Amino acid sequence: MKKILRNGVVGAMSGVTGGVLISLAFSAAFSSTYMPSTPRFMAHFSSSVSAMGASVLLWAMMGVLWGTSILIFRIDSWSMTRQTVVHFAICYVVYTLLAELAGWFPQTFVWLRYTILFIGIYVWIWLTQYLWAKAYVARINAKLGKR
Amino acid sequence: MKVNMHVDTAQADEHAELFVQAITPKLQAAADELTQVDQQWWGYRDKEIVPLTLSLLSVIRVEDSNVIGYLAGQPPVQIRQRLYQLEASLPTNFVRVSKGEIINIQQLDHLTIALNGLINVLMKDGQIAMVSRRYTGVLKGRLGL
């Protein structure tokens, strides 16, 4: 519980920092003034203060999501497949929702490509862990065989 | 160092004597190991106290908040100590592999990996334990890897 809270706070702070830096970089590249997000997002707000406020809140929520959801991989009684699948399900749904609210997706967004990329990242995470565990088991069995 | 062993089945009081110039950490470790040789461990089976043969003890597992010791070729026993106490006081061939399990690496047969990524330990007596990722390093270290 304490860990969830701590990861949530650190995640929120990291999220806001990351959001500021990324939006600053995008603003510098594509616009003459600072904008926390895309023009499509800005159009929803009457003032830049409220747009910035909403952006900070969304960045913080994204940070909380990543910071706390990573703890799923610490649940020892779960298999790594279960951890990966549950983490994927939560993050795909919540992150996609937050990113959409933050106006990060273009209007002509290719959902299929996005979803395949998302799944691809998780397959890679699972595969890396599985191959590591497989090598671990092989190494120990080789050692046991020699005894 | 020269080591003499005087083997005699009629020996009543088993003991060891070391003639050394100084006590080094290595010697101290050896002496600690020797004093543990005859340290008696006890288990409980149907309200009866039974002596435990550590070499036969394969897996120690927490089941419904009871600590159960599984022995090769013998019925399981209940052990009164908590798992963390056992982890600290048992000889080094006993290794914690998960939150609720300690295994005897002398009784370890081999490891398997399931497709869901769980690493299982198969013991010579057929017991199966699970290695959680947190303890993979400890097991590796105890096996000298």
Q: What is the pLDDT of residues A121-130, one digit of tens each?
A: 999 999 999 9
Inter-residue contact A81 to A125 (CB < 8 Å): no
Find the largest Cα–Cα distance for chain B. 56
Q: In the structure, what pLDDT confidence band is assigned to residue A53 with cuts at 50, 70 and 90?
A: very high
DSSP H helices in B14-98 = 25-37, 83-89
Q: How many CA atoms lie within 13 A of A133 on its CB side?
A: 26
Q: In the structure, what pLDDT confidence band is assigned to residue A106 with cuts at 50, 70 and 90?
A: confident
Q: Is B136 on the interface with A (CB under 8 A)?
A: yes
Confidence check: pLDDT of B1 > 90: no
**Judged by CB atoms within 8 Å, which residues 34-63 of A form the interface with B?**
none
The pLDDT assigned to A147 comes to 47
Confidence check: pLDDT of B11 > 90: no
Closest CA to A125 of A94, A95, A83, A67: A83
* Residue of B113, B124, B138 best to disrupt the A interface, most CBs of A under 10 A: B113
Instruction: Flag the least confident range among A125-129, B51-55, B62-66.
Output: B51-55
Answer yes or no: do B111 and A140 touch at CB < 8 A: yes
Residue B93 dihedral angles phi and psi, to the nearest 5° = -80, -5
Average pLDDT of chain B? 88
Q: Is B128 on the interface with A (CB under 8 A)?
A: no
Cα gap A45→A23, rounded to integer Å? 17
| pTM of the complete model | 0.72
B118: closest CA of chain A, how far (Å): 5
Q: In the structure, what pLDDT confidence band is assigned to residue A83 with cuts at 50, 70 and 90?
A: very high
The pLDDT assigned to B36 comes to 66
* Residue of A82, A128, A137, A146 best to disrupt the B interface, most CBs of B under 10 A: A137
- Which residue of chain A has the CA closest to B121? A137
Name the residue facing B117 among A81, A140, A144 (closest C-beta). A81
Dihedral angle over CA of A36, A37, A39, A44, nearest 10: -80
